[in-house]
C-alpha cells in the first residue's frame, strides 16, 4: 500500500483451499500516474501536456478612443502569439480605461451607461483577435447590465476556434455592491479548450476555497484569475489565497492585474498589481511555487510553460497527495447553484 495500491472490496470464495485467508481476497487498485483518470484515458504526453501561458500586468491609462484601446490590447495579444502562447490573460476591469475617453468624472450610473456601448465592439474585437493570432484569450472583465437590468462583472473567454464563453463574478466586493450595484452570478463551470478544461475565478472569488474545489472536481487543472486591487494588502489577499489553492487542489493558478492610474474614473483611480503564474509546491514544479511573475506595478508580461503531466503525477505520487487524501467520509463540497 505504500506504493499507492488502494483496497476496493473483499472477494469471497476467491481461493477456498487457502486456510489462513479463509478463502477471502482483497481486490486492490493502482492508478497509473501516466494516465489521466479523467476524460478519455489518453496518455498525458500528448499535445495537451505542455501549455504556454502569457499573463499581462496591464497599465490603466487615459485614452482618447476605442481604437486606441484596441491597439494597446492587440499589441499584447500579438506578443503572446509571437511566443506561441496557448493563453493570454487580461485583468479584471480591463475596459475601465474607456471611461477616460470623455475626460470628465462620471458618477456610477453615467459610467455604466458609457461602458455599455462598448460591450459588443469589445467582444467582436477580442473574438476576432483570438482567431487571428491563434491564441485563447481570457479577456479580463467588463461591467454590463444583463437582460433583467442587473449590473454584472463579466469575464469573457475567447477561444481560438471562435467560441465565446463567459463567467460572472460570483462574489462582488462590498465596494462593487455599494457603489456600482453589482450582483453576483450563480453559475460556475469549467470551459473546455483545446488544452483541456479550465476555470475562471474573478478576483475576490479566489478567496473562497469552495469555488476552486468545485472547478477542480469538474476537471480543471488551470484556474485563471483576472484581478483588480488598489493596495498591497488587497493584492496579497488575492495572491496568498491563490497560492494556497494551488497546494490544496494540486493545480495551476494564473493571475493578471492592473497598474497605472485613472484619476477621473471612480474606483479605478489607483492600482496595485503583480501578475504571476503559480504552481503547487513539490519537486516537479518551480522553486517557491512561482513559475513566472512580473515586476510590481510595471506594465509587462510573464510567460511560462506548464506541464499537465506533472500535475497528474503529483496527484498520484507526489510528496503529499491533497486530492487523493481528502476524507470524503467526513466532508465534501456541494454546489447548490445552477
Rounded Cα–Cα distance for residues 143 and 204 (Å) = 15
Q: Which of 157, 168, 230 is nearest to 194 (CA)?
A: 157
Q: Tell me the CATH number at 95.
A: 3.60.110.10
Higher pLDDT, residue 46 or 111 = 111
Same domain, 21 and 116: no
Same domain, 229 and 307: yes
Same domain, 56 and 22: no
Asked, for residue 330, whether it belongs to a domain, the answer is no
Average pLDDT, rounded, for the chain: 91
Which of 82-96, 101-115, 168-182 is least confident? 101-115
Same domain, 14 and 103: no
Same domain, 108 and 10: no
pLDDT at residue number 2: 54
DSSP state of 224: E
Asked, for residue 107, whether it belongs to a domain, the answer is yes
Whether 131 and 162 have beta carbons less than 8 Å apart is answered as yes
pLDDT at residue number 13: 85
pLDDT per residue as tens digits for the range 250-273 = 999 999 999 999 887 876 789 999
Give the helix, strand, coil percentages of the chain, each rounded to 5: 30, 25, 45
Asked, for residue 202, whether it belongs to a domain, the answer is yes
Which of 37-46, 171-180, 240-249, 282-291 is least confident? 37-46
Q: What is the separation, in whole angstroms, between the first and last Cα of the chain?
A: 40
Same domain, 3 and 138: no
Cell numbers found for residue 23: 478463502
Buried b (16+ CB within 10 A) or exposed e, 130-147: beebebbbbbbbbbbeee
**Of residues 92, 207, 293, 299, which has the active-site annotation?**
92
Beta strands in 170-320 (DSSP E): 191-193, 196-200, 222-226, 252-256, 258-260, 276-278, 290-293, 300-307
pLDDT class of 43 with cuts at 50, 70, 90:
very low
Asked, for residue 116, whether it belongs to a domain, the answer is yes
pLDDT per residue as tens digits for the range 306-329 = 999 999 999 999 999 999 999 999
Same domain, 16 and 97: no
Containing domain of residue 3, as a range?
1-30
Contacts 24+ apart (CB under 8 A), 288-297: 289/243, 289/246, 289/247, 291/53, 291/252, 292/53, 292/55, 294/55, 294/57, 295/57, 296/272, 297/57, 297/259, 297/271, 297/272, 297/273
**Of residues 54, 144, 155, 203, which has the active-site annotation?**
203
pLDDT class of 110 with cuts at 50, 70, 90:
confident
Whether 182 and 188 have beta carbons less than 8 Å apart is answered as no
Is 241 part of the annotated catalytic residue set?
no
Same domain, 12 and 146: no
pLDDT per residue as tens digits for the range 215-241 = 999 999 999 999 999 999 999 999 999
Is 221 part of the annotated catalytic residue set?
no
Same domain, 116 and 261: yes
Q: What is the domain count for the chain?
A: 2
Which of 34-43, 114-123, 200-209, 221-230 is least confident? 34-43
Whether 88 and 138 have beta carbons less than 8 Å apart is answered as yes
Asked, for residue 36, whether it belongs to a domain, the answer is no
Cell numbers found for residue 284: 516537479
Percent of the chain with pLDDT over 70: 93
Whether 80 and 54 have beta carbons less than 8 Å apart is answered as yes
Asked, for residue 335, whether it belongs to a domain, the answer is no
Inform me whether the pLDDT recorded for 122 exceeds 60.
Answer: yes
**Of residues 54, 155, 169, 221, which has the active-site annotation?**
169
Same domain, 55 and 102: yes
Q: Which of 117, 115, 142, 125 is nearest to 75 (CA)?
A: 125
Inform me whether the pLDDT recorded for 44 exceeds 50.
Answer: no
Inform me whether the pLDDT recorded for 39 exceeds 60.
Answer: no
Inform me whether the pLDDT recorded for 109 exceeds 90.
Answer: no
Rounded Cα–Cα distance for residues 258 and 42 (Å) = 38
Q: What is the mean pLDDT of residues 186-212?
A: 97
Amino acid at each position: 500500500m505504500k506504493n499507492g495500491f488502494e483496497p476496493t472490496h473483499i472477494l469471497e470464495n476467491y481461493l477456498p483451499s487457502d486456510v489462513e485467508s479463509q478463502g477471502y481476497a482483497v481486490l486492490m487498485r493502482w492508478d497509473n500516474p501516466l494516465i489521466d483518470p479523467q476524460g478519455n484515458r489518453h496518455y498525458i504526453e500528448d499535445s495537451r501536456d505542455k501549455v504556454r501561458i502569457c499573463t499581462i500586468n496591464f497599465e490603466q491609462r487615459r485614452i482618447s478612443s476605442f481604437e486606441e484601446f484596441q491597439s494597446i490590447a492587440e499589441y499584447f495579444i500579438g506578443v503572446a502569439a509571437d511566443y506561441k502562447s496557448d493563453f493570454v490573460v487580461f485583468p479584471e476591469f480591463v475596459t475601465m480605461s474607456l471611461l477616460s475617453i470623455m475626460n470628465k468624472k462620471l458618477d456610477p450610473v453615467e459610467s455604466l451607461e458609457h461602458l455599455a456601448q462598448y460591450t459588443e465592439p469589445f467582444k467582436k474585437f477580442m473574438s476576432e483577435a483570438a482567431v487571428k493570432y491563434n491564441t485563447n484569450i481570457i479577456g479580463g472583465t467588463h461591467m454590463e447590465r444583463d437582460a433583467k437590468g442587473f449590473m454584472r462583472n463579466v469575464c469573457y473567454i475567447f477561444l481560438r476556434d471562435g467560441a465565446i464563453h463567459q463567467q460572472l463574478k460570483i462574489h462582488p466586493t462590498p465596494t462593487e455592491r455599494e457603489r456600482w450595484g453589482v450582483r453576483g452570478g450563480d453559475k460556475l463551470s469549467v470551459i473546455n479548450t483545446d488544452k483541456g478544461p479550465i476555470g475562471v475565478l474573478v478576483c475576490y472569488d479566489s478567496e473562497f476555497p469552495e469555488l476552486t474545489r468545485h472547478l477542480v472536481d469538474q476537471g480543471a487543472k488551470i484556474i485563471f484569475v483576472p484581478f483588480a486591487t488598489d493596495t498591497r494588502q488587497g493584492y496579497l489577499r488575492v495572491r496568498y489565497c491563490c497560492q494556497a489553492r494551488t497546494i490544496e487542489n494540486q493545480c495551476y493558478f494564473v493571475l493578471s492585474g492592473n497598474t497605472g492610474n485613472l484619476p477621473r474614473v471612480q474606483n479605478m483611480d489607483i492600482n496595485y498589481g503583480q501578475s504571476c503564474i503559480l504552481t503547487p509546491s513539490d519537486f516537479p514544479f518551480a522553486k517557491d511555487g512561482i513559475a513566472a511573475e512580473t515586476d510590481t506595478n510595471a506594465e509587462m508580461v510573464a510567460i511560462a510553460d506548464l506541464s499537465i503531466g506533472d500535475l497528474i503525477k503529483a496527484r498520484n505520487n507526489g510528496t503529499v497527495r491533497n486530492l487523493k487524501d481528502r476524507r470524503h467520509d467526513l466532508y465534501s463540497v456541494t454546489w447548490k447553484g445552477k
